[in-house]
């Protein structure tokens, strides 16, 4: 089943994000290689493709997991979680109807 994982970043999270971004992206790439990733990405803090020093306010990932608990475990063990990038993460079942 698909699950939406969404989180809100702590204030001024950019340095924290940058410190563990390669490790986070490697985990996301694993989901992609396994054919489980639908979409993922951050929310720019300003209305710009590249927010620069303004950074990001959070992110979302929609991916396939065997259960909500597995999706929760995935985000709980993500480098962003370990580094304190976000304040909280929400995991919700997701039903894709388009495209």
Structural domain contains residue 17: yes
Count the domains in the chain: 1
Structural contact between residues 7 and 76, judged by C-beta atoms closer than 8 angstroms: no
Extract the tokens encoding 83: 């580094």
Calpha distance 73→67 (Å, rounded)? 10
pLDDT at 73: 98
State how far the Cα of 84 lies from the Cα of 67, in Å rounded to an integer.
Answer: 24
CATH number of the domain where residue 19 is located: 3.30.70.1060
Which residues of the chain register pLDDT less than 70? none
């Amino acid at each position: 089943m698909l699950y939406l994982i969404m989180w809100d970043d702590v204030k001024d999270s950019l340095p924290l994000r940058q410190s563990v971004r390669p490790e986070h992206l490697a985990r996301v790439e694993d989901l992609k290689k396994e054919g489980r990733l639908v979409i993922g990405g951050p929310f720019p803090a300003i209305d710009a493709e590249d927010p620069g020093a303004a950074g990001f306010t959070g992110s979302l990932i929609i991916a396939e997991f065997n259960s909500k608990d597995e999706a929760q475990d995935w985000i709980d063990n993500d480098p962003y979680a370990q580094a304190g990038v976000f304040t909280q993460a929400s995991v919700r079942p997701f039903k894709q109807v388009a495209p």
